[in-house]
A and B are shown apart, each in its own frame.
Chain A
Amino acid sequence: MIEVSNLSRRFGDLLAVDSVSFAVAAGTITALVGTSGSGKSTLLRLINRLIEPTSGAVRIDGRDTSTVSGEELRRGIGYAIQGHGLFPHWTVARNIATVPDLLGWDKTRIARRVNELLELFGLDPETYAKKLPRQLSGGQQQRIGVARAIAAEPKVLLMDEPFGALDPIIRLKAQEDILAIQRRLGITIVLVTHDLDEAIRLGDRIAVMDSGRLLQYGAPAEILSHPAHGFVEKLVGGADRPLRLLSLGKVAELVEPGPADGVPVAEATSLRDALSDLLWRGAESLPVASNSGALLGRITLPAIVARAGRQA
C-alpha cells in the first residue's frame, strides 16, 4: 500500500508536482497518465526519492519513506525505465543481480534467483545468462530490465514508460507479460505512460495528471464514462471512447441464452474484440464458449452496442 499525501515539488519557479494525494492499494496497478511535462515522471521519482519532495509525504506500508536513506529506500523498490537502462558492460546475469548484490545476498542465492527470473521471463538461463545486453533483441532487453527491477523481490515496482521504446507488436506482448507476472507475484505497480490505451489495458486505477496536479483518480471505466471537466474530458473524449469502454468488459458479462451460428468466441474475449468479430463476419450474434469449450449461450450485437453507450 502506497499513500501519497500533499506531495509537492518545486523547481525554481515551476511547481512540477502540486500537492498531490492518492493511495494505491497493495497488489494493484496504477497508471499515471498525462502529457509530457505534466509532472507524472517527477511524481514517480518522488516516490522512490530520486527527487526529494519540497513538501508532503509518501508512506509505503504505513512507513514514512523519509525515515530511511534514499539508497536504502530505492533498494527496496523496483525501478524499470524506458529503453531498459541495462549496463552494457555487464552480462545479463550480472545486470539482473544488481540489487541483490547491493543488498549483499550470498552468491548461491543470487544465482538461483537469476535463473528463476530468466525462466519466469521465458529466457533460457543456459543461453542468455552470459550474454551481453547488446546481443539481445529489443524485447528481450526490456524483459531483462523488468527482471532486474524485481530481482530483490520488492513489494512495489515503479515503471517509467517501460514499453516506450518497443514497436507495437512487441509492446502488446510485453504488456500482457507484465500483467501476468503482476497477477502471479502480487506486486504493487505504479506505471507512468502517455498512452491512454496502455493505461486502460494495464491499470486497475488511472491517475490523470496535468500541470503538476492530479485531476482525476479512479477505475478506467469511471475515468472513461465520467471524466472530470476540462483536460480529462479532452483526453478520454475522443472518437475511440465507446471502443475503449468495450475493451474493459469481457464477453462473459453479456452472455445470454439462445442459439447462434458460427465459430464460437471465447468468454474471456474482450467486448471490443467480440464486436470486431461480429462486424467482420456480418453476424447479428455468435455462440460463446467457455475456456473448456462448452457452449454457454450467445452474444448479440445489440447487447454490445447498448453497453458501449453513455452510462447513466
Chain B
Amino acid sequence: MNFDASEVGSRRNVGFAAFPVLTREAFDKLGIFIALLTGASFLFEPFVTLRANRIVSGKGVGFFDALPHSLGYPGALLVGAVAVAAIARAPPWMRAGGAGLTLAALAYLVGEAPSHLVGPDNRLARVAPAGAFWLMGFAFALLLTDAIGRLKLGPWPRLSLLAITFVIAASFLNSGLWDGLSVLKEYAVHADSFWQEAINHVALALTSLGAALIAGLPLGVACHQSSRLRDLTLPVLNIVQTIPSIAMYGLMMAPLALLAAHVPLAGELGIRGIGTAPALIALFLYSLLPVVGNTVVGLASVPAQSVEAAKGMGMTRGQLLTKIELPLAAPVILTGVRIVLVQNIGLVTIAALIGGGGFGVFVLQGIGQAATDLVLLGAIPTIVLAFSAAVILDAVVDLLKGRA
C-alpha cells in the first residue's frame, strides 16, 4: 500500500477546507494595521483643508464632501476593497497592484477636490491635502513596499517600478490635474527659484559625496593596509558623525570667516563663514565615515585565499587592488555611497540655515511665514530625491552582487 507524507498532508488540508476555522494566522498583521489606519482616518480625519487664503487656518473637509459623488463613491469602494484584501492575506502581487492602484487613485482624487470646492473665480482660496489623504497615502505606501519586498523583485523590475511611478506623477503634473492644490500654487509663485534650488540641492549632495569619495577611498585603502592608521582614523570620523548638523554648520562659520578675512584668495573663491563653503565642508565630513568605514569593511571581506593566489601569481600591489580587491569590495563600498547620498540629501535641507541653498530655503521661508504649503514645497521634493536615490543605489548594489 502506498501511503506517503504528501497524502497525509492533503487529507489534513481537505479537513481544513471542510471546516474552516478562523484562526489568528488567517489575518495579516500588517494588513490589520493598514485597514484600521485607513478606516479611522477615512471616518475621522478631513480629506482636504479649505482656507480662505494661504496664511489663515482653514477648515477640514471630509472625503465625501470634498468630491463629487461620481468620484467619491467609487473611490471609497476601491479604498475599502484593497484594505480588506490587505487583511485577507491576498497574494503579494495582488496586494502590490491594489496598493499601487489605490495610491494613484488617491493622488487623482485629491487633484479633483479643489475644482469641486472652490469656484474658478476665487484665486485666494487654498485647498491642501489633509489628514485622511496623508494617513491613507502612508498606509497604502506601506502596503506597497511590504508587498514589493515579499515579491523579492530583482534590481531591474524595481528600477522599472520607480520609472513607472515617475511617469505617472509627471503625467498628473503635466495634465494640470494638481494645479488647484495649494502646494502647486506655491510652486507657481516660486517656479524660478524652485529649479535653481533643486540644482543647488542636488549639486551640494553630489559634490560633497564626490569629495568624500576622492578623499575617503584612498583613506579607506590605507586604513585597510595599516591597522594603526585605522585605529586612529575611524574613531575620529565616528566622533565627527555624532556632531549635530546645526552645531557643525555653526562650528564652520568662525574659522571660515577668519580664513576669508585673512586670505584674499579664499574670499575670491567664495569661501566665507556662511553660504556654500561651510555647507559643503560639513557634508563632506559627515560623508567620510560611511565611505571610509565601508571601504575598510569591503576590503576586509575579500577572501584571503584570492589575495594570496593573486600575490602568488605575481600581481603587483596596484594590480591586486584594482583587479581583485576593489571589484570584490564594490558592493559594500556602494552601500556606503547609498548611505551618504540619502543622508546628504536630507542634511542639505538644513544647510539653508547658513545660506547654503537647496530645498531647505522653502522649508525655512515656510516656517517663517507660517505657510505650511511652502514647507511642503521644500519637503516633498527632498523626500522624493532621497527615496529615488535609495532605490537606484540599492539596485546598483544588487546588480554588482549578482555579477561578483
Interface residues of A (CB under 8 A from B): 48, 50, 70-76, 79, 81-89, 98-99, 102, 145, 148-149, 158
23 contacts between A and B (CB under 8 A): A50-B312, A71-B316, A73-B314, A79-B313, A81-B312, A84-B305, A84-B309, A85-B306, A85-B309, A85-B312, A86-B309, A87-B310, A87-B324, A88-B303, A88-B328, A89-B403, A98-B310, A98-B315, A99-B314, A102-B314, A102-B315, A149-B313, A158-B312
Number of interface residues of B (CB under 8 A): 18
Most A-side CB within 10 Å, residue of B305, B312, B316, B328: B312
CA of A73 to CA of B316 in the docked complex: distance in angstroms?
12
The answer to whether A71 and B315 touch (CB under 8 A), given A89-B327, A89-B403, is yes
Partner of A79, one of B312, B328, B404: B312
A74 — which chain B residues lie within 8 A by C-beta? 311-314
Question: Is the CB–CB distance between A89 and B312 below 8 Å?
Answer: no
A86 — which chain B residues lie within 8 A by C-beta? 306, 309
CA of A190 to CA of B338 in the docked complex: distance in angstroms?
48
State how many angstroms separate the Cβ of A144 from the closest Cβ of chain B. Answer: 11
CA of A86 to CA of B313 in the docked complex: distance in angstroms?
12
Partner of B314, one of A72, A89, A148: A72
Partner of B313, one of A82, A84, A99: A99
Interface residues of B in 293-314 (CB under 8 A from A): 303, 305-306, 308-314
CA of A73 to CA of B313 in the docked complex: distance in angstroms?
9
Instruction: Check: B207 CB closer than 8 A to any chain A CB.
Output: no
CA of A174 to CA of B224 in the docked complex: distance in angstroms?
36
CA of A72 to CA of B403 in the docked complex: distance in angstroms?
31
Question: Is the CB–CB distance between B404 and A75 below 8 Å?
Answer: no
State how many angstroms separate the Cβ of A71 from the closest Cβ of chain B. Answer: 5
CA of A83 to CA of B308 in the docked complex: distance in angstroms?
11
State how many angstroms separate the Cβ of B71 from the closest Cβ of chain A. Answer: 54
Partner of B306, one of A82, A87, A102: A87
Instruction: Check: B193 CB closer than 8 A to any chain A CB.
Output: no
What are the 10 tightest A-B residue pairs by CB atom distance, in nearest-first order? A85-B309, A75-B314, A79-B312, A74-B314, A85-B305, A89-B404, A71-B314, A83-B305, A99-B313, A85-B306
Looking across the interface, which residue of chain B has its beta carbon closest to that of A74?
A: B314
CA of A74 to CA of B317 in the docked complex: distance in angstroms?
13
Instruction: Check: B319 CB closer than 8 A to any chain A CB.
Output: yes
State how many angstroms separate the Cβ of B11 from the closest Cβ of chain A. Answer: 40
CA of A124 to CA of B34 in the docked complex: distance in angstroms?
56
A98 — which chain B residues lie within 8 A by C-beta? 310, 313, 315
Interface residues of B in 211-260 (CB under 8 A from A): none
CA of A85 to CA of B302 in the docked complex: distance in angstroms?
11
Known: A87-B310, A88-B328. 18 other contacts (CB 8 A): A48-B312, A70-B314, A71-B315, A75-B313, A79-B309, A83-B305, A84-B309, A85-B303, A87-B324, A89-B403, A98-B313, A99-B314, A102-B313, A102-B314, A102-B319, A148-B313, A149-B313, A158-B312
B314 — which chain A residues lie within 8 A by C-beta? 70-76, 99, 102
B403 — which chain A residues lie within 8 A by C-beta? 89
CA of A50 to CA of B306 in the docked complex: distance in angstroms?
14
State how many angstroms separate the Cβ of A32 from the closest Cβ of chain B. Answer: 16
Looking across the interface, which residue of chain A has its beta carbon closest to that of B317?
A: A71
A81 — which chain B residues lie within 8 A by C-beta? 305, 308-309, 312
State how many angstroms separate the Cβ of A143 from the closest Cβ of chain B. Answer: 15
State how many angstroms separate the Cβ of B165 from the closest Cβ of chain A. Answer: 32
B311 — which chain A residues lie within 8 A by C-beta? 50, 74
CA of A33 to CA of B313 in the docked complex: distance in angstroms?
23
Interface residues of B in 316-335 (CB under 8 A from A): 316, 319, 324, 327-328
B328 — which chain A residues lie within 8 A by C-beta? 87-89
CA of A74 to CA of B316 in the docked complex: distance in angstroms?
10
B316 — which chain A residues lie within 8 A by C-beta? 71
CA of A76 to CA of B303 in the docked complex: distance in angstroms?
24
CA of A75 to CA of B309 in the docked complex: distance in angstroms?
12
CA of A79 to CA of B404 in the docked complex: distance in angstroms?
23
A73 — which chain B residues lie within 8 A by C-beta? 314
